Amino acid sequence: MDIAAVARCVGRCYVSPAFGESEPFRLSERRFLKFSCSTNSDPTGSRSLIFGGKSHRRLGFFRPIMATDESISSRSSDCAGETKQINGKQKNIVWHDCPVTQSDRQKLIKQKGCVIWITGLSGSGKSSLACALSRALHSRGKLSYILDGDNVRHGLNSDLSFEAEDRAENIRRVGEVAKLFADAGIICIASLISPYRRERAACRALLPEGDFIEVFMDVPLHVCEARDPKGLYKRARAGKIKGFTGVDDPYEPPLDCEIVIQNNRDKGLSSSSSSSSLCEMAEIVVSYLDQNGYLQTP
């Protein structure tokens, strides 16, 4: 490897523990060191790095940043028992634990992380409830974040269509991200149609028991269709949208969700006259969180 090229491409490099424990850099003296573009050759012909004008170590002391197929195969014996099966494919990856735990993070922000999964038909008020709930939690000094079904398709899931396979992948990705938020100690509010029980159950299985709180917006189809805030039902009835949940694709209501919220008013939840109702619905969820210790210091 051309050391000058490394110096040009890598502005700063962290000294690995193995390097830090060798002279003249002890473990307590590990630091970020700047590469110099100049190199020296020692009597053996090896090229050395220049740190602050002094030649200290050859490039061989640095761990490879990227593993090639050759390097993986040559070190396969060193990684025995550390590989993991992911989706049926062999991956040379190992989970790296961090000394700062979920409990530490939760104590820091004085709340317990969890996932509130709001499911229901389009037009049932999922996003409206999610925003009202986030506002209610914020007023109590509690940190939350919303993963909205439409919003995540603007970025994280922008590569996915509405075909059955991609819709399943959409739910899977949101479930994994929600799990990370919960692990960070944040109350994650996911609002998605998520029509199938199997996919919701898979997301529930990602979290410890009790940390997945399913909220079912139990609103009849005719009410959702009368609201039709985005005009999607009209387009689906006209044949312009295929596979639309509630029209030509089924919705499987939860059988054992933690919270059921009913709102059968034909008027959309975004109107000012329904603001009190939204607050009431949000308080139902807040009360559940409070009673189950999610709003208290663990």
Give catalytic residues, as residue numbers. Answer: 194
The Cα-based distances of 147 to 78, 111, 196, 203 in angstroms read 41, 19, 18, 14
Dihedrals phi, psi of 191, to nearest 5 degrees: -120, 105
Alpha helix positions (H), the chain? 3-9, 17-20, 69-74, 102-109, 126-139, 164-183, 197-204, 221-227, 232-237, 275-291
- The residue among 137, 118, 138 whose CA lies nearest residue 128 is 118
Q: How far apart are the first and last CA of the chain?
A: 51
Q: Specify the 3-state DSSP secondary structure of 98.
A: coil
Rounded Cα distance, 244 and 196, in Å = 13
* CA gap 69, 54 in Å, rounded: 35
The CA–CA distances, whole Å, from 271 to 105, 227, 250, 276, 278 equal 38, 11, 28, 10, 10
Instruction: Please choose, from the candidates 82, 87, 285, 116, the residue with its C-alpha nearest in 3D space to the C-alpha of residue 187.
Output: 116
Of 172, 170, 142, nearest to 157 (Cα)?
A: 170
| Residue 75 CB partners (closer than 8 Å, separation 6+) | none
Task: Find how far residue 246's CA is from the centre of its chain.
Answer: 28
Calculated CA dihedral for residues 170, 220, 210, 172, nearest 10 degrees: -10
- DSSP annotation of 106: H
